[in-house]
Amino acid sequence: MSSRKTTELALALHGFFHDYLPKLKGMSIHTIHSYRDSLKLLLTFLGEGRRSLLKLSFADIDANRIIAFLEHLETGRHNSPGTRNIRLAAIHCFFRYVASSFPQCFLLAQQILGVPFKRAKTREIEYLEFDEINAVLDKIDTSTKDGRRDYALLVLMFNTGGRVQEIVDLKANDLRLSPPCAVRLFGKGRKERTCPIWAKTAQVLSKYLEERIIDPRAPQAIFTNHMGTPLTRFGVRYILAKYTKMAAEKNSKLRSKRLHPHSVRHSTAVYLLKSGVDLSTIASWLGHVSPDTTSKYATIDMDMKRQAIAKAKPVSDKKISRVTNWRLE
């Protein structure tokens, strides 16, 4: 095999991660890292049994090998269909770049882009009711420094409905703690939005910054761990799980829920909806690009469904008595 053939894949990967994703597509560092992890898994799979990954080339890749890799994710790594589809999305993105930059690989790119996504079962959205949010917050010991951090963190998450990465990336100068109180969030695709916060939330954050000696005008991380580095998504997940488990001791409904940081975001959306806020405002609040993403919240709350059926006019007894063959005359 010629050295040119063996370097084409390396050149494609270099161009994809150093130019195409960050410069031409303008993707966030988090998306780039996700794509990096997906292609790293693929390369490792393709290189199994070889003496060196450095000898991999486009000749070692075809649609059947991609399908085998996806099956390995589900059977060998026990990934869900959703995770499988995330990996495939990264592979598709890479081969769209390959098709335009390496025309000699156009047929290969077409074949791999033809590998379909797998239909995944849609899970029921898990969220916390307002009383459950309060039950979780009540379990936080605010007499400790860590407890006050955890309280400020979860209160802000519930108030804004921010994605966990948006919250851990927050800097002090993203907060406006004087009326009108608000927080500036940077979401997917580096989209910026301003979200209002309650006066009580602003008071909690103001005291928190004062205690931590954080200058509210400085681009300084707000929520940090014991080493002084910003909390990670996994750290936030641990914090939420810790207090949810404590609250579940007296709240049986919490025991059956599979909660994660994104559940707080769902909780905010449902709370706003129940409070009478319209879907378009909620979409703007949460930073949704498509209104379809927000409309799902209108279908998940059982209390709202019960209220709707209570308002609906029931079929009269007279009509019920005239039902024949399951049809109304």
Per-residue pLDDT at 146:
95
| Residue that is written with structure tokens 């681009």 in the block | 219
Maximal CA-CA distance, the chain = 86
pLDDT at position 7: 86
Nearest Cα to Cα of residue 234 among 170, 168, 139: 168
According to the model, what pLDDT value does residue 326 have? 40
Q: Which residues contact 185 (CB under 8 A, 6 or more apart)?
A: 160, 162, 166, 170, 174, 192, 193, 194, 195, 287
Per-residue pLDDT of the chain (329 residues; tens, 9 = 90+): 455 566 899 999 999 999 999 999 988 888 899 999 999 999 999 998 776 788 899 999 999 999 999 999 999 999 999 899 999 999 999 999 999 999 999 999 999 999 999 987 766 778 888 999 999 999 999 999 999 999 999 999 999 999 999 999 999 999 999 999 999 998 876 688 999 999 999 999 999 999 999 999 999 999 999 999 999 999 999 999 999 999 999 888 888 888 889 899 989 988 888 888 887 888 888 887 776 677 777 666 555 555 554 554 444 444 444 444 444 33
pLDDT value, residue 218: 95
DSSP 267: H
pLDDT confidence of residue 61: 95
Distance, C-alpha 186 to centroid of its chain: 13
Model pLDDT, residue 28: 83
Given this model, what pLDDT does residue 251 score?
Answer: 86
Active site residues: 163, 188, 262, 265, 288, 297
Distance CA 271, CA 265 (A): 10
Task: Please give the Cα distance from 127 to 264 (Å, whole number).
Answer: 6
Closest to 39 in 3D by CA, of 64, 16, 7? 16
Residue 309 has what pLDDT? 46
Rounded CA-CA distance 196/179 in Å is: 10
Cβ proximity of 154 and 264 under 8 Å: yes
Domains of the chain (ranges plus CATH)? 3-113 (1.10.150), 130-309 (1.10.443.10)
Name residues whose C-beta falls within 8 Å of residue 17's C-beta, 6 or more positions apart in sequence.
32, 35, 36
Is the sign of the CA dihedral 76, 45, 108, 30 positive or negative? positive
Q: Say how far apart CA 137 and CA 126 lie, in whole Å.
A: 18
Tell me the C-alpha distance between 137 and 131, whole Å: 10
CA 308 to each of CA 109, 166, 301, 304: distance values in angstroms, whole numbers, following the listed order: 50, 35, 11, 6
φ, ψ for residue 141, nearest 5 deg: -85, 95
